[in-house]
Structure 1
Amino acid sequence: MIAVTCRNGEHFSVDPMSIERVETDPDTVIHLVDGTKYVVVQTFDDLLLDIRDHRAAVTVAQKRLAGGVAEIADHASHVKRTTIRLERRQYRRDEPGTPPSDTTPGRTED
């Protein structure tokens, strides 16, 4: 969620995934997918930075949950490029914890 402030001073949060478009004419107007419009104090550029930072933070969280390695900086727009590490380990079904064999399952040696 990103924090926004309406022209009337009301503070609230908006889910960036529900934003359809943002326009400036001359005020910044947020159009949501459900047809709701909000005139906000934030500038167009500040709003786009907030959306980008939110999406970067979500991407990092998804990578962490998927078992990858990701780093997040103090500010999400400065996320460093990192290598995502995925490990797949194969074990025999009959012996839990044993490393994979060099043979392919279902294949016999001639």
Structure 2
Amino acid sequence: MIQVTRLNGKLFSLNALYIEQVEEFPDTTITLSNGDKFIVKESLEEVVKRITNFYREINIVATRKDMEG
């Protein structure tokens, strides 16, 4: 799950596995695989970062060898 903020300032969690698309119109809009849409305060880049971190936490995305420190 990733935590994001609605435009009214309320936090909520989304299951990142169901995210189909993230766009900026200029507001960031997250579309789920079932067609539901959510407009959030976070930037597209921040949402993608949170999705990637979530995938790493549940071992869907491996860490690249050149990125390890």
Q: TM-score, normalised by structure 1?
A: 0.53
- Percent identity (aligned): 34
Amino acid at match of 1:29: T
Deviation at 1:9, TM superposition (A): 1.4
Greater C-alpha Rg? 1
- Return structure 1 stretches of 4+ with deviation > 2 angstroms: none
For the aligned residue pairs, the C-alpha RMSD in angstroms reads: 1.8
Higher strand proportion? 2
- Structure 1 segment 1-110 matched on structure 2, within 5 A: 1-59=1-59, 80=68
List gaps (5 residues or longer) in structure 2: 61-66
CA deviation digits over 1:15-42, x for unaligned, max 9? 1101010000101000011111110000
* Corresponding pairs, count: 63
1:17 match: secondary structure: helix
Q: TM-score, normalised by structure 2?
A: 0.83
